Amino acid sequence: MMDKKITSALISVYHKENLDPLVQLLNDQGVRLYSTGGTLAFIKDMGIAATAVEDLTGYPAVFGGRVKTLHPKVFGGILYRREDEQDRQQAAEYDIPAIDLVVVDLYPFEETVNSGAGPDEIIEKIDIGGISLIRAAAKNYRDTLVVSSRNQYDELIDLLATGNGTTTLAQRQRFATYAFAISSHYDTQIYNYFNQAGEYNFFKESILTTHTLRYGENPHQQGWFYGHLEGLFEQLNGKALSYNNLVDIDAAMHLMAEFADETAFAILKHTNACGAATGATVKEAYEKALAADPLSAFGGVLIANRPVDMAAAEEIHTLFFEVLVAPDFDEDALTLLKGKKNRILLKNKGDLTGKRQFKSLLNGVIAQEKDLHTDSPADLQTVTERAPDKEETAAMLFASKICKHAKSNAIVLARPGQMLASGVGQTSRVDAVQQAIAKAQRFGFDLQGAALASDAFFPFPDSIEVAAKAGITAFLQPGGSIKDQDSIDFCNKNNLSMVFTGKRHFKH
């Protein structure tokens, strides 16, 4: 028999908010209620009769409430198969009543960890009885309906009202599927808490919040985002974020994290910066960033790390762009920028967290620590006879911050506080150098005395020779080639400066 009439229910929840309409409906439909502790008191305060689980089992809650529902009369009532003759006989023999509906809201383990609570409080928020009830009811979905989250109360009320207390097999299976999602997520959070020291290197990630995107990378692909965007951004204007928007915004956020102590602006296309700069104001930083490649900036993702005022907004407004991210917007600036209805404006509310990144490949997952190293003056080892001067050093370090976030092979040309051009995603380093020089010259930059940063070592001195002919005088690279000395010798013969950082910044 596929349809089942609910005649009894066990309700044991941590949060009582919005529970009363469900309890009232079950009572109105003549359902016998079983409950525990605070939930039992809540139901009785509504003037509705309910049987204490202790009265069903003959055992009180013990060990400070750690054991309440773990008893054959409870789990037998959930698990026994109504169509199985032997199960029915045993239920009758041991006086085990059928439990057709289980409503459980687990102890808030994840929230307790995030609150900064101490170990004792966290451990006590590991639900044992609740998670067991969920698994039992989900396993026996042919006979029992399980509600494993308070987020399902409204759906359950609609289902019971429409079906007059009767559920179908498909409905019960759907609720069971959700229940196993809840239980597996819960266990993942517990594992990750216990494994903070990294003793076990298992891949365990779970996110229950899902955003369906308009499409994936291309219109014929479906796309989803799993996570809490509302914790990072408040969308102030524009259409729904796309898959590609999110990828570019992530790249923009990581890049902008390099400039916490300076007013900075960056413009990105396909995760690469086509312009980046610092300035005394947001307007100045934007204008310097745009100058690097005003052509590629069309349709780009823009990011500022200081509030956007009217002076900056008036300049930015003239550009067609997809997304602008900023920590805030002056009221008049926001009004102006909202003039384009599809333009996405995001108020950044938080920083990126986590020190690991991963992606799927080869029927598995690859993971690594994030590249959180930013090249600093302390990393620079001068390997040439001429040391870089103060301006060259500032330019190289600025270029290195951009280069670190560009697709390999990557080359960035810069002066202090301004990216001049980049060559990214090239299959040879000399091609990346030539691309960067051609772009810089195309947009009118004089490269005499400019600096160059490379994400990896130069295998030959040919790239340096090409750059030197364009006027570049200072080079930053990690070093590590068996032919490093050839590059150093070329620099020495041409009065160029070169520093090694000892840190490669590949990005694939």
Q: Does residue 139 have an active-site annotation?
A: yes
- The percent of the chain in helix, strand and coil, each rounded to the nearest 5, is 40, 20, 40
Which pair of structure tokens corresponds to residue 418?
């301004």
Tell me if residue 344 falls in helix, strand or coil: strand
**Quick one: tokens of 261?**
């102590």
Exactly one of 5, 185, 254, 270 is catalytic; which is it?
270
- Which residue is catalytic, options 44, 139, 254, 503? 139
Dihedral angle, C-alpha 54, 60, 64, 68, nearest 10 °: -40
Q: What's the CA gap between 61 and 189, in Å, rounded?
A: 26
The count of C-alpha atoms lying within 13 angstroms of the C-alpha of 209, restricted to the half-sphere facing its C-beta, is 5
DSSP string, 378-431: GG-EE-SSSPP-HHHHHHHHHHHHHHTTSPSS-EEEEETTEEEEEE-S-SSHHH
Contact 323, 344 (CB under 8 A): yes
Query: In the sheet that 497-500 helps form, which strands lie side by side, from edge to edge?
Result: 233-237, 344-348, 321-326, 300-304, 264-269, 272-278, 418-423, 411-415, 451-454, 474-477, 497-500, 381-382
Q: Please answer whether residues 10 and 98 qualify as being in contact, where contact means their C-beta atoms are separated by less than 8 angstroms.
A: no
Amino acid sitting at position 73 = K
Burial pattern 326-336, b for ≥16 Cβ within 10 A else e, equals: bebbeeebbeb
CA distance 303 to 284: 14
Burial, 375: exposed, middle or buried (Cβ in 10 Å; 0-12, 13-18, 19+)?
buried
DSSP letter, residue 222: -
Give the contacts of 412 (CB within 8 A, at least 6 positions apart): 399, 400, 402, 403, 406, 419, 421, 422, 436, 452, 453
Alpha carbon 74 to its chain's center:
39
Token readout for 327 is 């920590």
Dist. CA 324–CA 341, nearest whole Å: 13
Q: How many CB atoms lie within 10 A of CB 281?
A: 14
The set of catalytic residues is: 139, 270
